[in-house]
Amino acid sequence: METTTIAQRLENEMYDQCEKIKELVIGYNPSYYKNMIRENGGLNAAFKLLTAEKLSEGFITLIERGHYQLTLEYLILTDNEFQTLFDGQILKNAERKLRGLI
């Protein structure tokens, strides 16, 4: 599959993830995440979040509420095609974030 097609699928999955979060995590609306996707595109938003120095508030909220499976990191790490969009260091950092907090 072409990179652009994979990137579009990632963006679609990220938007779907926003809806799942609103449904499953009572009282939390991932508006910052959704706006970031809309303004930057899914792939660029993912790069920004995955390479950020500090953990996002959304990531922390999902972990604290027991919904690690709704994090961007989990989405990327559980899909082989999505992993092709990122270098090994970004994937290692994503894995480290999840292992350290769940």
| pLDDT tens-digit series, residues 54-100 | 999 999 999 999 999 999 999 999 999 999 999 999 999 999 999 88
Domain count, the chain: 1
Output the pLDDT for position 25: 95
pLDDT score of 18 more than 60: yes
Output the pLDDT for position 69: 97
H-type alpha helices, the chain:
3-24, 31-40, 42-51, 57-64, 72-77, 80-83, 88-101
Torsion of CA 22, 99, 56, 12, to 10 degrees: -50
Output the pLDDT for position 2: 73
pLDDT score of 101 more than 70: no
More confident site: 83 or 2: 83
Domain of 21 in residue numbering reads as 3-101
Q: Which two tokens stand for residue 1?
A: 């599959």
